[in-house]
Structure 1
Amino acid sequence: MARRGTRRGAEPRADRYEIAGGEAELLRDADRDGGWVLCVGGVPQSYVDLSDPTYLDFEYMRLMGDVVDSLGLEGEPFDAVHIGGAACTLPRYVAATRPGSRQVVLEPDGRLVQLVREQLPVKGVAGLKIRVTDGRTGLAGVPDEADDLVVLDAFAEAAVPVELVTEEFTRDVARVLRPGGVYLMNVADGFRLPFARRVVTTVRSVFRHVLLLGDPGVLRGRRFGNLIVVASRRPLPVEALTRRAAGGAARARLVEGEDLAAFAAGAAPIREGDGTTAPVPPPQVFGKS
């Protein structure tokens, strides 16, 4: 039976837990002390190392960490908003690598937030606040030009909520970013990448500088996977990110400029009410049948 965590300050308990979005499960990493995987609906949502928040296990999260590392001066603190929280992997990373950062996580599932607070504690993460609210409502309450970084890493039933990738929402993201601020997105797509192409078109309609990072096989539309979109009004650290992507453990590829324009050619932007649906991974991606 699914249970809820009740112990504070104790060792996390590998178990299943009831949340508003269904069922969450905590799995211990037998190969790494302090490593835990949070699954929601059978889909791995987060990996956290409670002993070392700078350790990023998922490939797409390493790419997001690379982006964070490449922005501004090394160790420079950020003001950041994270849309979608799960186990707060990236906020923990930012707090550890950029001390003094102020971060807000917008997470609509209050029971998931409670689970994380009790089993994967965030109380000791300096400068971090979690607000139980949906992304659109939470972002609408953020003042203009308040943040250096906005991160979208939100999934519902293994799909990106479409209302968070529309042109209207993207313009609200641009509103809360400072002139040199960066929008960092995690999206997922599969065969031929029709959704990702539309997301890129949408972001390019709002931000002048956009790039895309991902596994070469995913970028070719050969298999389902995660893609990272990075956008800003000002030039992005393309050369540094290209080197990191090519030399990292994930061996990702960076697409920008004319190549990105070709990637998105012919794809329509996503707008509210246009009936767009987000792709879900095929069952075999997570070992389901």
Structure 2
Amino acid sequence: MQLLVKATSGSQEISVYEANQLYGEIGKYRFLQFSDHAIQGAIDLKNPKRIVLEYPRAIMHLMERNDSVFENVFMIGHGIGTIPGNYPDKRFIVAEIDETVVGLSRAYFHYQLDNVRIGDGRRLLCEQERSGFDYIILDAFTEAGTPYHLTTLGFFEMAKQKLDAQGSMILNLMGKVKNDKIMNAIYSTLGEAFAYVKAFSLPAEHNADIRNIIIVASCRPIRFESKAMAGFNEIQLEEGHILMDKREG
């Protein structure tokens, strides 16, 4: 594995590596990694158009399956820009808190679209017009996980107002499928704001293993094809407590 660059932003290190193997698959890869060793995005240098990681492939299937003619998307968390980069003809607004991440994605992962806004995703979404988006995607991480203020009932209710009547929220999270208080709380809090909520997980050897979990919330039934979910399986999360904004207790 070869380190191409390491940058420090706040208390977090952000690195770009090249490797001949990624998750057991032989090839030529370049990836962006945070200081907690979590890979935030990867490209196949031999086939740059291929979507390497499973979770963006699953998210894109959910988007296309539930609204094949979607046009407007608000995304929180840039990474290397895999999803908006796959839809250059769609209107994406991408909120990214860390301009260092955006700079690395442009320099090392060839992100060329002019649709990234630097700032807090909740604040930037709040500034958007009502009913303006087909999808809102949350894919934001810090060393502590998904920022709390992006998981509360107040945030989800505000986000719902920014979606059109057929719109959906899609969240990429990291957690456990059993006995995960935070994951269960996010799932239950979404259920307070939206009529339909589904969760999907990559398989793991043990229930206690941390893995990608995708949660979709909508005001209409959620459709998907199992064979197109890039290895994600539908799961049933447990009931949890409702996450409130801190000023609301």
C-alpha distance in 2, partners of 1:150/1:225? 22
Q: CA deviation at 1:86?
A: 1.6
Give yes or no for contact 2:64–2:70 (8 Å, CA) kept in 1.
no
* Alignment pair present for 1:40 and 2:45: no
Give yes or no for contact 1:79–1:102 (8 Å, CA) kept in 2.
yes
- Cross-structure match for 2:75: 82
Query: What SS does the corresponding residue of 1:205 show, helix, strand or coil?
Result: helix
Q: CA deviation at 1:119?
A: 2.6
Structure 2 unmatched runs, 5+? 21-25
Query: What SS does the corresponding residue of 1:113 show, helix, strand or coil?
Result: helix
Q: CA deviation at 1:16?
A: 1.4
Q: Which of 140, 146, 153 matches 2:132?
A: 146
After superposition, the CA RMSD in angstroms is: 2.5
User: Higher strand fraction: Structure 1 or Structure 2?
Assistant: 2
When the two structures are superposed, what TM-score results if normalisation uses the length of structure 2?
Answer: 0.86
The 1:217–1:28 alpha-carbon spacing in structure 2 relative to 1, beyond 3 Å, is: closer
Q: Which of 54, 61, 66 matches 1:59?
A: 54
Give yes or no for contact 1:80–1:147 (8 Å, CA) kept in 2.
yes
Cα deviations by residue, 1:64-85 (Å, 9 ceiling, x for unpaired): 2321232222xx3421111011
Cα deviations by residue, 1:89-117 (Å, 9 ceiling, x for unpaired): 1211233xxxx200011001122222222
The 1:217–1:18 alpha-carbon spacing in structure 2 relative to 1, beyond 3 Å, is: closer
Q: Which of 151, 156, 169 matches 1:170?
A: 156
Query: What SS does the corresponding residue of 1:223 show, helix, strand or coil?
Result: coil
Q: CA deviation at 1:51?
A: 6.9
Q: Percent same amino acid among aligned pairs? A: 21
- Cross-structure match for 1:242: 226
C-alpha distance in 1, partners of 2:233/2:67? 22
Q: Which of 178, 181, 195 matches 1:194?
A: 181
The 1:187–1:197 alpha-carbon spacing in structure 2 relative to 1, beyond 3 Å, is: same
- Cross-structure match for 2:233: 253
Alignment coverage as a number of residue pairs = 240
Structure 1 unmatched runs, 5+? 1-12, 277-289
Q: CA deviation at 1:158?
A: 5.1
Letter in 2 for 1:154: A
C-alpha distance in 2, partners of 1:14/1:275? 45
Runs of 4+ in 1 over 6 A off after TM superposition: none
